[in-house]
Amino acid sequence: MTIATFPPEPKPEPGWGRYFSFCTDAKVIGIQYIVTAFFFFLIGGLLAMVIRGELITPESDLVDRAVYNGIYTMHGTIMLFLFTFPVLNGLNNLLIPTMIGAPDMAFPRLNAVAFWLVPIFGFLLMASFFVPGGPAYSGWWSYPPVSIQNPLGNLINGQGMWITAVALSGVSSIMGAINFVTTILRMRAPGMTLFRMPVFCWTALAAQSLQLIGLPALTGGAIMLLMDLTFGTSFYRPEGGGDPVLYQHFFWFYSHPAVYVIILPVFGIFSELFPVYSRKPLFGYVYVALASFIIVGLGLIVWVHHMFPSGVAQWMRNLFMVTTMLIAVPTGVKVFAWLGTLWGGKLRLTTPMLFCLGGLFNFVFAGITGIMLATVPVDIHVSNTYFVVGHFHYVIYGAAVMGIFAAIYHWFPKFIGRMPYEGLGKLHFLLTFVGANLNFLPMHPLGLMGMPRRVSSYDPEFTFWNVVASLGAFLLGVSIIPFLLNMLSAWIRGPKATHNPWNAIGLEWLLPSPPPEDNFGEDVPTVISRPYGYGTGQPLVEHQDEIERRLELQEAAA
Amino acid sequence: MTTTTLQQPGTPAEHEQHPKHNLTGFIIFLCSESVIFLAFFSGYALLKTSALNWLPDGVDGLEWRMPLVNTIVLVSSSGTIALAEHFKNRENMLLFRGFWLMSMAMGAYFLYGQAVEWSGLQFGFTSGTFGGTFYLLTGFHGLHVATGILLMGLMLIKSFIPGNYSGGEQGVQATSLFWHFVDVIWIILFLLIYVWQ
């Protein structure tokens, strides 16, 4: 047979313009999300460099104290609302439709609106640097009464803009969540039952359900905060009969689950990648999938552990200590499942695999300090110290961001159609892993010694560990250079990727790289077995051989 | 070769709107939206039970008779909208439009009653947590009633497009669900604010 038996592929060779337009293709939106997120990642990272530059000496010498307050507030806000959530939504957009064999998301236009809100509230947040009084300075959680002060009396002030931006981010995330959940529930390929769905989709479903339950509480709390700040109500104002702790409940009811919204998809990434690079099926697939929903259930009833020193009743402290510790059970199930997958596998230490292994290592460390923090006496001792900052950054940077990097290296060939460079990738991994541990490990002894967070000057006895942490931070800053270099040069002139360069199993790997706009179109393959059939020789879909042969022929023709 | 039949040139794979998914998405949205009310309700209950002086000076409480009339009107409109939906399913467009319009009018009457009540009150937005929560809860709910009326108006206009409703519900079911949701929220709100004094 010849190539001519295939109908000519209508290849319009879409230009760069669509990445700057209101495009409703999930794959374009996914890349829009990821690129926008990394733009803000650089800004947030720059602020982190300023913070660590200030803290390299005990004196407050680099920036003004008031400016410092604004910088750490904006660092946290940008990294969470403008980097982590958008980059994960980008991965959801790329992976969910292709993994379940859907042509697009359930609501393509809603999807595009959700994305375009990100640059809008990003711009709003950035603009707050330039209003009189500067940006918000009450920390990323914006506790009243600090956050309801408006000393200059301007209607447009940094704190007000912060609240509006966070509320808009909530609207965008809810739109995204409705879309992802509907897509996963209603648009799966024939034969793909829930228990034949890749774990990434399970974790995305779990994480997005958490968004839907938790986020409205924060939005409600933020509306009341904005009214206190702007219109003189007294929901959180003690002098008017209000209760500042009420805001903490609203804030943490969402913002603790928000950590699971971030880490659950990363669990999904680990569960996808370990089998590929160990050549073994995922150990305990059903338990890994279901553990995601146990984490959702438990994750909604742990928020008071952020408020142990806020004057809550003793019975609440006891209750929430127990629920918090219980979270270790489903997460432990996952960690042991990954170890079981790795055990006796044929490990291939590619860049994505290295990032996964590093992320897993950091996650276990963060889990142990998490259990320490859940213990009421320890928590009260280290509350508001660098111990908390260290724990949090191990989770978010050490585990989540490394998992995100792993995902980007792993799926880059699929969605861009070109291979990233392994050498630069491994250099990026080395700098990230060493930098992150050098940066965040010293925060634990500092916290135990009693160094408070959110200060620009400190007792000279803390100098040594702070210098180490700052050097680690600068290493992390440098680590982004090989990453950007790798992504840009691979996108422009990297070697062409085949449809399945990692020899992975999954619907997305049965599509050409990059996939056509409507993915499988009308010919969605019928799924006949569970995912991760590595080493079993079992096909994933009907007529798998034919589909693969056709893709190989197309590649040979190109 | 069988694979040639898999792709058919000239028929681009269509994936525009999925009406069935719209309802799924809308139900998920309503579940999520109920959490924001839950947050406001629990905040209200917490502020009220922990308050030293709940009522501002010169305020004895809330008058409940007129809001009760309002409640009866709004709750009955849930019945009329259900009737409208029933007649739409029987393809009796005249009765559908009649009951649909009646539900809209009852919603509008509710908003009018709310406005009359607000204008006669002795306390404002900034009168402690009592005033703040009262206006926040009733205002946020009122915003939902107004949204519901707008959605119903849109559905009514769409009903005059020939053949618009022949293929499926096209939004009528979602709007009516939204209206029931607004009613249930109001019943909880009425119990919390007017009955529990």
**Residue type, position A7, single letter:** P
Q: Cβ B32–A178 below 8 Å, yes or no?
A: yes
pLDDT for B11: 34
Measured between CA atoms, the residue of chain A closest to residue B46 is: A246
Let me know if residue B174 belongs to a domain: yes
Q: Cβ B47–A234 below 8 Å, yes or no?
A: no
Contacts of A550 in chain B (CB under 8 A): 3
Let me know if residue B4 belongs to a domain: no
Q: Is A373 exposed, middle or buried, given 0-12, 13-18 or 19+ CB atoms closer than 10 A?
A: buried
- What ipTM does the predicted assembly reach? 0.90
Which H or E element spans position A464? helix A463-493
* Average pLDDT for B105-126: 94
Let me know if residue A14 belongs to a domain: no
pLDDT in tens, A437-462: 999 999 999 999 999 999 999 999 99
pLDDT for B18: 56
- Bridge partners (DSSP) of residue A541 are A527
Contacts 24+ apart (CB under 8 A), A367-375: A367/A328, A367/A331, A367/A335, A369/A394, A369/A444, A370/A324, A370/A328, A370/A395, A371/A325, A371/A328, A373/A305, A374/A305, A374/A321, A374/A324, A374/A325, A375/A321
Let me know if residue A288 belongs to a domain: yes
Between CA A113 and CA A116 the distance in angstroms is: 5
CA atoms within 13 A on the CB side of B36: 25
Nearest to A106 by CA among A207, A177, A28: A177
Residue B52 confidence (pLDDT) above 50: yes
- The shortest CB-CB distance from B21 to any of A182, A224, A253 is to A182
Let me know if residue A244 belongs to a domain: yes
Confidence of residue B167 (pLDDT cuts 50, 70, 90): low
Residues from B contacting A (CB-CB < 8 Å) are 1-4, 6-9, 11-13, 15, 18, 20-22, 24-25, 28-29, 31-33, 35-36, 38-40, 43, 46-47, 50-54, 125-126, 128-133, 136
Let me know if residue A339 belongs to a domain: yes
Confidence of residue B9 (pLDDT cuts 50, 70, 90): very low
Q: Name the domain count of chain A.
A: 1
pLDDT for B19: 60
pLDDT for B12: 35
Let me know if residue A96 belongs to a domain: yes
Residues of chain A short of pLDDT 50, as ranges, are: 1-5, 7-8, 10
Q: Name the domain count of chain B.
A: 1
Q: Which of A522, A526, A554 to mutate to test the interface with B (most CBs of B within 10 A)?
A: A522
pLDDT for A231: 92
pLDDT in tens, A500-537: 999 999 999 999 999 999 999 889 999 999 999 998 88
Domain boundaries, position B76: 62-197
Cis peptide leading into A442, omega within 30 of 0?
A: no
Q: Cβ B21–A523 below 8 Å, yes or no?
A: no
* Average pLDDT for B103-113: 97
Let me know if residue B17 belongs to a domain: no
Distance from CA of A519 to the nearest CA of B (A): 10
Could you tell me if A533 lies within 8 Å of chain B, comparing CB atoms?
A: no
For A24, phi and psi rounded to 5 degrees?
A: -105, 10
Residue B14 confidence (pLDDT) above 80: no
Let me know if residue A353 belongs to a domain: yes
Q: Following DSSP, what letter does each residue of A214-226 receive, concatenated?
A: HHHHHHHHHHHHH
Domain boundaries, position A165: 27-557
Nearest to A425 by CA among A371, A494, A379: A494
Q: Would you say A43 and A29 are in contact if contact means Cβ atoms under 8 Å apart? A: no
- A545 token code pair: 């051989």
Let me know if residue A35 belongs to a domain: yes
Let me know if residue A375 belongs to a domain: yes
pLDDT for B70: 95
pLDDT for A311: 86
Let me know if residue B40 belongs to a domain: no
* Average pLDDT for B99-118: 96
Q: Would you say A236 and A249 are in contact if contact means Cβ atoms under 8 Å apart? A: no
Residue B113 belongs to domain with CATH number: 1.20.120.80
Confidence of residue B20 (pLDDT cuts 50, 70, 90): confident
Confidence of residue B10 (pLDDT cuts 50, 70, 90): very low
Let me know if residue B21 belongs to a domain: no
Q: Cβ B18–A186 below 8 Å, yes or no?
A: yes
Let me know if residue B129 belongs to a domain: yes
pLDDT for A294: 97
Between CA A275 and CA A278 the distance in angstroms is: 5
Distance from CA of A234 to the nearest CA of B (A): 6
pLDDT for A57: 95
Residue A373 belongs to domain with CATH number: 1.20.210.10
Residue B73 confidence (pLDDT) above 50: yes
Q: Is A290 exposed, middle or buried, given 0-12, 13-18 or 19+ CB atoms closer than 10 A?
A: middle
